[in-house]
Structure 1
Amino acid sequence: MAVLTVFSPPTNPSLLTPSPSSLSISYYFNNNDFTDWYSLHKSNSKWAPFSTIPLVSKQRTRTRAKSKLCLMQSQMMPESSSSSGSGCSWMKDNSSVHEKIAGHGMREGPLHSVFPTKPAEVSSVKDLFEFICSGPLIDKVGLTSDKVAESIDKWVVYGSQLCRLFQLNELYLTEPQKVRIYHYYIPVFMWCELEISRHSSKFKDEDDIPPLVIGFSAPQAVKNYASFCPGFPLPYNGRRTATISIDDFYLTAEGQAKLRESNPANALLESAYSGRGDRADPSTWPEVEGPLTAVLFEGWMLGFKPVPVEVVKAVDPQLEIINKNLEAYFDAWDKFIKSWIVIKIQDPSCVYQWRLQAEIAMRADGKPGMSDEEVLDFVSRYLPAYKAYLPTLYAEGPNGSDPEHLLVVEIDEGRNPILAN
């Protein structure tokens, strides 16, 4: 079950300094006790690294910006340092060094313990710039090549933070990992930052600005895979955020049992404890200290709206009661969401394979998880709703959404973004 979490500005942060050379940009992190990103929020001092090193002046033209990037093709090799780790997050793919990477794509153990002993082959900032600009979301999130050039230092730092968050060896990112970070997570985060700025601009300086609620609608096994990433660097920008899930509003296990008993013939309303869980005890709920800048609200059916009865009956007659219940969700949830991210999938049946992968990984880690048969039974209860409501969600947007504040990200079977058809 997803829980409410609050990220606070970090203390005892990694110290960010530029390379002495003016023609290249390399970042070195003084991370004596820095094993993963989550440890950062425990400290007390504030950190604002992203305003310290402007790489390209905002007044530069596109040609001059690219020219500046071309000058920065020095090798960006990590220099000797007493501190472990390196901030160079744009690295050439080298699949020969992945023997220690776990099956779920995350490197085991703290980052500083897995760095290769030989010098790493890295790529220039110009290569990073070109790779970023080739991503399918650049236009969608309001970025241009000029804007990417102006903020390339942020991309480098964000990439390094994500590598630490996922415990990836940033010296040897695979091509899928590069795509996930630079074509997916960072562009979506930057879109969230833009939405927050637009939201704040509607208020006067003396006003108490309410948090922007950003809806994240994605099928199961996709939302868990990426939903935290749009907000991951917000604390570094001095923002306080929280994440909630529709899971937090589910009926309790007792309530689900009563619902099943009152509708014994409806298989879509059946429930079981294995893999489906119960609400956390209220005594364990974390408390949120405001004011908050943004709230990320995620869910597999967030934004679904009722469709004509004949449509749901054609998919599965058991959906009729669910279709009726959806009428209440606009006033309960959707009307509070002012910005939306919708993850679009090509085939809902992919959810089964994705959820199976997640459960296999959990079992391999010694955690309780559903069997293959339980996964099939579990996912089968969601597929009718996907088939009935996803076409309208993708064609019209979530219930009550504004097209000017809607980001649709289409992904492939590997859960990587692709150019929309």
Structure 2
Amino acid sequence: MSEYKFRGLRPPFLSRGIMDKGKWPAEVLQRSEQLQAQLAAPFRDLLHEHQLPEDFLPVLTQVFLPLAIWTLNRHQHNRPLVIGISGGQGTGKSTLADVWQRVYREIGYRCCTLSLDDIYLTQQQRRALATKVHPLLKTRGVPGTHDTALGINTLKALCSADKDSTVSLPRFDKGSDDRIPAHLWPVVSGQVDIVLFEGWCLGARPSLEPKGPLNELEDKRDACGKWRNYVNQQLEGPYRDLFSLIDIWIMLKAPSMACIVRWRQLQEHKLRARSGRGMTGRQIAQFVQHYERLTRNLLEDMPNWADCVIALGEDHKVRGVQLGADSSRRV
């Protein structure tokens, strides 16, 4: 597995337009074009399931599909490839993971997905943590509110599985704000080739600046910095161990924090439409303040070392694809 090194890379290209086929390596482009007809029906289903507009189809065929092929050069036949997908709330991590899962399965790879959201501590555990350390830790989301040992054990079990193995994948119900009982978790039987691991703070490093409160939440509820310091300690320890299991890093980069708030509101609107429950716009704005500090740091830091950065515009459309310099030599 990777050693989770943060390295400064010089991007070999930044594709300003997703229609520019000349930016892709020839073998990646050729394989992608071969697969487009085969994936036409699955891609149409994806548009419907994720409530995406028709004009999102070129993103699937000209960005997400070539990238799926591009990542396969990292796959080694003696163990699974763990792909980490990082990005702020509402950037489309679960959509990208769903697309890639279908692409990989269509071309014969065994693939499964795991979300950082699915390894949250139980409600009872977070209540205990809130009493012991800081009240803000009752709210799921920031580093320190996940069961990192569960995540590490699950990834290691998937990577060491043989044809007779069974691995249960944790699941969390955001509606009840608690983990789904273990006997209801989906089970992966046998070996897998690819694990798609997505989460909003994958790759986050401890936050150093500003040391003082960044927003209203921090000012009113963590003026002394105890909550922020605990988050940093977690990133230095157990989260670093979890992130070290990731082989290749993909970032969905929002243009600003304001866009993330707006997109998170859109997510919640879809949830309310489906289930009749969800937060109001004001509640979302307050909720996102829990994540603001690390999100801003990720937006500034991660493009410097990620293997691939998918840059999004304010309209949520893909504006460019940036590959890390050492990554480009592998394609």
Scaled by the length of structure 1, what TM-score is found? 0.55
Once the two structures are TM-superposed, the CA of residue 285 in structure 1 deviates from its matched residue by 1.0
SS in 2 for 1:413: coil
- State the distance in 2 between where 1:275 and 1:371 align: 15
Please say if residues 16 and 321 of structure 2, whose CA atoms lie closer than 8 Å, have aligned partners that are also in contact.
no
Aligned with residue 83 of structure 2, among 210, 214, 219: 214
Question: In the alignment, what sits opposite 2:70?
Answer: 191
Aligned partner of 2:99: which letter? C
Match runs of 1:306-317 below 5 Å: 306-307=206-207, 309-313=208-212, 315=214, 317=225
Measured on the aligned residues, the alpha-carbon RMSD in Å equals 3.0
* Distance in 2 (alpha carbons) for counterparts of 1:356 and 1:163: 25
Find the residue that maps to 1:346 and give its secondary structure.
coil
Q: In structure 1, what is the equivalent of residue 187 of structure 2?
A: 287
Correspondence 1:238 to 2:102: no
Kindly tell me the number of residue pairs found equivalent between the two proteins. 262
Alignment of 1:270-349 (within 5 A): 270-271=138-139, 277-307=177-207, 309-313=208-212, 315=214, 317=225, 318-329=227-238, 331-349=240-258
Distance 2:175 2:196 in 1: 24
Q: Per-residue deviation at 1:321?
A: 2.1
Q: Which residue of 1 aligns with 2:99?
A: 229
Q: Which has the higher contact order (CA 8 A, sep 6+)?
A: 2
Q: Which has the higher helix share?
A: 2
Cross-structure match for 2:129: 259
State the distance in 2 between where 1:137 and 1:234 align: 24
Tell me by how many angstroms 1:191 deviates: 2.1
Partner of residue 135 from structure 1, selected from 18, 21, 43? 18
Instruction: Quote the offset at 1:276 in angstroms.
Output: 7.4
2:302 corresponds in structure 1 to 393
Give the superposition deviation at 1:291. 0.9
Counterpart in the other structure of 1:74:
none
One-letter amino acid of the structure 2 residue matched with residue 417 of structure 1? V
Q: Distance in 1 between matches of 2:235 and 2:33?
A: 43
Identify if the C-alpha distance between structure 1 residues 150 and 283 changes in structure 2 by more than 3 Å, giving closer, same or farther.
closer
SS at match of 1:377: helix
State the distance in 2 between where 1:319 and 1:382 align.
11
1:154 to 4, 10, 35: 35
Partner of 1:417: 318
8 Å CA contact 2:28–2:66 kept in 1: the answer is no
Contact kept, 8 Å, 1:158 with 1:186, in 2: the verdict is no
Amino acid at match of 1:343: L
Taking the aligned partners of 1:149 and 1:221, their CA distance within structure 2 comes to: 31
What SS class does the counterpart of residue 157 from structure 1 fall into? coil
C-alpha distance in 1 between matches for 2:102 and 2:69? 11
Name the larger-Rg structure: 1
Residues 106-141 of structure 1: per-residue CA shift (max 9 Å, x gap): xxxxxxxxxxxxxxxxxxxxxxxxxx996268577x
Distance 1:262 1:137 in 2: 54
C-alpha distance in structure 2 between counterparts of 1:255 and 1:361, whole Å: 29
Secondary structure of the corresponding residue to residue 301 of structure 1: coil
Q: Which runs of 5+ in 2 are unaligned?
A: 1-14, 141-172, 219-224, 323-331
Q: How far has the Cα of 1:274 moved from its partner?
A: 7.1
CA contact (8 A) 1:189 1:231 kept: no
Give 1:244 deviation, angstroms: 0.4
User: What SS does the corresponding residue of 1:409 show, helix, strand or coil?
Assistant: strand
Partner amino acid for 2:57?
K
The code of the aligned residue for 2:313 comes to D
Question: Structure 1: which amino acid aligns with 2:25?
Answer: L
Look up the SS of the partner of 1:220 in the other structure.
coil
Letter in 2 for 1:234: Y
> Aligned AA for 2:74?
E
Seen in structure 2, the aligned counterparts of structure 1 residues 136 and 321 have a Cα distance that, compared at 3 Å, is farther
Supply the distance in 1 between the matched residues of 2:311 and 2:250 (Cα, whole angstroms).
Answer: 11
Q: Aligned runs of 1:163-178 on 2, under 5 Å?
A: 163-167=44-48, 174=54, 176-178=55-57
Question: 1:355 Cα deviation (Å)?
Answer: 1.6
What runs of 5+ residues in structure 1 fail to find an aligned partner? Answer: 1-131, 201-208, 398-405
Between the aligned partners of 2:231 and 2:43, the Cα distance in structure 1 is 39
User: Residues 32 and 69 of structure 2 are in contact (CA less than 8 Å); yes or no, is this contact kept in structure 1?
Assistant: no
Q: Which residue of 2 aligns with 1:250?
A: 120
What is the aligned partner in structure 1 of residue 166 from structure 2? none
Please give the alpha-carbon distance, in whole angstroms, between the structure 2 residues aligned to 1:189 and 1:228.
11
Structure 1 residues 271 and 391: alpha-carbon distance in aligned structure 2, compared to 1, 3 A threshold: same
1:368 and 2:277 aligned: yes
Normalised to the residue count of structure 2, the TM-score between the two structures is 0.69
Instruction: Tell me how far apart the structure 2 counterparts of residues 354 and 256 of structure 1 sit (CA, whole Å).
Output: 27
